């Protein structure tokens, strides 16, 4: 099997597509982020990478707090809209008809239409170059009741989707189950 | 729409499933990681979160270098195997029949069967609690020639898959394209 070297590329698959939210000068704003992941188990933490010039980043700095909202395939247009427009020029909440609510933390806006909402407190901010890399402690998790089964989050109801980078530049839903985690590999033992 | 509060949860969808590799005492070892993401655009960086007790972490500390290998659905069993076994007790490379190669960095083992391989140099290590959070600079990218179209990575050929956390605990392939990124949202403008 031969390989081609492409130089340093930001190539991990699949990436999520989430909405990161913050109050900017007191007004809720949301942006689309694919560069987001879990950072720690206990205490629960996550990370987001945001370009320095983004409006939402200003709000995160003001409050040292932010939200991560997992959208469903039902609002893929709204999710993309929050990535292609600027909060300094457009009221994204109004255009997207987002119902904004607040949970445990008073300055962290959450999107009701997103099945999963995480409230986060900033723990670390690292300037890595083009992006500010933010590690947040997850303070509370909200899940839409319609996306729970026996009181637990049900991915088949949440219907999250993936961002696939260039050259594809698509959003893709989740496909078939191909194996049980912590299970299918045991066949090789 | 009503919401249920679940307390702090590490709930982001979808997460990737990748193989993180390092030489431990000179021998290549790989572990499965879902908590992995892109951290910066220029210079290209990524992050991985690894439990302190993992064998692979020892190798990363020894070399201050590691690899991220994106597996395809063809090797979902091998990928899971690297998550449920310990490198200190099992030769995972042998059991999985991985063909290991080295690229630009002499101490970073790469898996030939994974369509995408990233060589990384450690830039930051943060002890966040249960996990060591590592930010690496991507030094080189290798893509299998069979997964390129017009010289560029083709996700339909790469066939990556997602790790879906509890209670599902499944690996899922990518599904249908549901919209063009930086495109479908413009309809709302």
Pairwise CA distance, residues A155 & A151, whole Å: 13
Residue with tokens 């939200």: A67
pLDDT in tens, B17-36: 999 999 999 999 999 999 99
The low-confidence residues of chain A, meaning pLDDT below 50, are none
Pairwise CA distance, residues A116 & A69, whole Å: 6
CA end-to-end span of chain B, whole Å?
26
**Is residue B96 exposed (0-12), middle (13-18) or buried (19+ Cβ within 10 Å)?**
buried
A146 with B103: Cβ contact below 8 A: no
Residue B56 has pLDDT above 80, yes or no: yes
Which residues have CB under 8 Å from B106's CB, separation 6+?
Answer: none
User: Please, what's the largest Cα pairwise distance for chain A?
Assistant: 57
A11 with B184: Cβ contact below 8 A: no
Does A56 lie at the interface with B, CB-CB under 8 angstroms?
no
pLDDT in tens, A111-153: 999 999 999 999 999 999 999 999 999 999 999 999 999 999 9
- DSSP character string of B65-118: EEEEEE--GGGHHHHHHHHHS-TTTS-HHHHHT--EEE-SSTT-EEETTSSEEE
Bond prior to B49 in cis (omega within 30° of 0): no
The residue among B83, B165, B45, B76 whose CA lies nearest residue A41 is B165
Could you tell me if A108 and A67 are in contact, meaning their C-beta atoms sit under 8 angstroms apart? Answer: yes
Out of A41, A128, A175, name the one closest to residue B172 (CB): A175
- Mean pLDDT of the region B87-104: 97
To the nearest whole Å, the CA of B180 is away from the closest chain A CA by: 5
């Amino acid at each position: 099997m031969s390989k081609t070297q492409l130089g340093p590329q930001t190539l991990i698959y699949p990436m999520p597509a989430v909405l990161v939210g913050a109050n900017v000068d007191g007004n809720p704003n949301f942006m689309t982020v694919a560069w987001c992941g879990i950072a720690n188990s206990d205490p629960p933490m996550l990370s987001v990478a945001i370009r320095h010039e983004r409006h939402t980043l200003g709000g995160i700095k003001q409050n040292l707090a932010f939200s991560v909202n997992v959208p469903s395939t039902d609002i893929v247009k709204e999710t993309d809209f929050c990535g292609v427009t600027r909060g300094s020029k457009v009221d994204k909440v109004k255009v997207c008809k987002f119902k904004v609510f607040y949970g445990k933390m008073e300055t962290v806006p959450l999107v009701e239409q997103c099945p999963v909402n995480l409230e986060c407190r900033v723990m670390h901010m690292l300037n890595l170059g083009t992006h500010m890399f933010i590690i947040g402690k997850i303070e509370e998790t909200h899940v839409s009741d319609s996306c729970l089964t026996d009181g637990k989050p049900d991915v088949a109801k949440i219907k999250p989707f993936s961002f696939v980078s260039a050259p594809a530049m698509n959003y893709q839903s989740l496909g078939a189950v191909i194996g049980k985690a912590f299970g299918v590999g045991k066949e090789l033992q």
